[in-house]
């Protein structure tokens, strides 16, 4: 299956987890991809895992929370690819804490990366996407945007914002040929989670020491296979941004193994 042959994609968060899995999936389907990430080591790992198809992979170090870094990174990606057909906003961070103990700086940091970062990437990419073929943007929301995930108010707010923004953008740019969709991952094992709902060290502090784990009893996948691999999401992302998703825009797809019915 070569749905991405001749297509040009930019994927943030491409140095780990679902972002990295998406990069590898699009490469495997024949695409040319620029993987963007704040972590140089993560990008090196992606290059290593790309193996034989790495000739179609380019990496760029980008901090999505920094406007200048985004502007330079997108410009580099577009110049490298000679245009842009697909943007995937997979970069994100998770911070967990008691809300009454959360500082404004900590709250804003999550919004800055997850929500403002997605906005900056989209804003800078739109001029190139307008000239692309079958142009599509896939944003990363989360099941936390619509279902209760305790101790993660900032994260939930940021992902709810991403979801609402996706709908607004889909309406604004539909007649200009850019599709906007979102995925809502849940119960996915990645660099952001370790399978218990707590974020890994690379993404921030875990759950509070006195967290009531009983509140997470409803957050188990109904399929009974435990947390899924990032590839479970990457396949859906690849579909949404391909010709197979040509009639899909302004909506989100929940990928959580039935955690939330």
CATH number of the domain to which 218 belongs: 3.40.50.720
Order the strands of the 251-255 sheet from edge to edge: 57-61, 32-37, 8-12, 86-89, 136-140, 179-185, 251-255
What count of other Cβ atoms lies within 10 Å of the Cβ of residue 103? 9
pLDDT category of residue 260 using cuts at 50, 70 and 90: confident
User: Does 133 reside within a domain?
Assistant: yes
Interval 82-134: pLDDT, tens? 999 999 999 999 999 999 999 999 999 999 999 999 999 999 999 999 999 99
User: Does 17 reside within a domain?
Assistant: yes
Catalytic annotation present for 151? no
For residue 258, the number of C-alpha atoms closer than 13 Å in the C-beta half-sphere is 6
pLDDT category of residue 217 using cuts at 50, 70 and 90: low
Domain of residue 154: give its range. Answer: 8-255
User: What local confidence, expressed as pLDDT, does residue 200 receive?
Assistant: 34
Q: How many domains does the chain have?
A: 1
Helices 231-240, 17-28: inter-axial angle, 10-degree rounding: 60
User: What local confidence, expressed as pLDDT, does residue 83 receive?
Assistant: 98
User: What local confidence, expressed as pLDDT, does residue 242 receive?
Assistant: 98
Q: How far apart are CA 152 and CA 186, in angstroms?
A: 14
User: Does 261 reside within a domain?
Assistant: no
Interval 25-84: pLDDT, tens? 999 999 999 999 999 999 999 999 999 999 999 999 999 999 999 999 999 999 999 999
Contact indicator for 115, 139 with CB cutoff of 8 Å:
no
User: Does 220 reside within a domain?
Assistant: yes
Question: b/e map of 14-32 (b: 16 or more CB within 10 Å)?
Answer: bbbbbbbbbbbbbbbbebb
Which of these is catalytic: 4, 151, 155, 173? Answer: 155
User: Does 217 reside within a domain?
Assistant: yes
Nearest of 223, 145, 138, 144 to residue 183 by alpha carbon: 138
Q: What percent of the chain has a predicted confidence (pLDDT) above 90?
A: 81
């Amino acid at each position: 299956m070569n749905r991405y042959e001749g297509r040009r994609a930019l994927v943030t968060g491409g140095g780990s987890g679902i972002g990295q899995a998406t990069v590898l999936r699009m490469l495997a389907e024949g695409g040319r991809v620029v993987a963007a990430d704040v972590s140089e080591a993560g990008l090196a790992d992606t290059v290593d895992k790309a193996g034989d198809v790495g000739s179609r992979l380019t990496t760029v170090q980008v901090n999505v929370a920094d406007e200048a870094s985004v502007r330079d990174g997108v410009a580099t990606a577009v110049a490298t690819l000679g245009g842009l057909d697909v943007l995937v906003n997979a970069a994100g961070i998770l911070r967990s804490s008691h809300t009454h103990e959360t500082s404004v700086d900590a709250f804003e940091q999550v919004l800055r990366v997850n929500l403002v970062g997605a906005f900056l990437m989209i804003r800078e990419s739109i001029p190139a996407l307008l000239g692309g073929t079958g142009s599509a943007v896939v944003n990363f929301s989360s099941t936390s945007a619509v279902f209760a995930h305790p101790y993660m108010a900032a994260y939930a707010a940021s992902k709810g914002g991403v979801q609402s923004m996706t709908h607004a953008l889909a309406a604004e740019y539909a007649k200009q040929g850019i599709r906007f969709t979102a995925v809502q991952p849940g119960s996915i094992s990645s660099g952001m989670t370790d399978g218990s709902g707590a974020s890994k060290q690379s993404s921030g502090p875990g759950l509070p020491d006195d967290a009531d784990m009983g509140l997470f009893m409803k957050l188990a996948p109904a399929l009974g296979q435990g947390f899924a691999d990032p590839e479970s999401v990457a396949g859906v992302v690849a579909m949404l941004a391909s010709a197979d998703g040509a009639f899909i825009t302004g909506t989100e797809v929940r990928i959580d193994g039935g955690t939330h019915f």
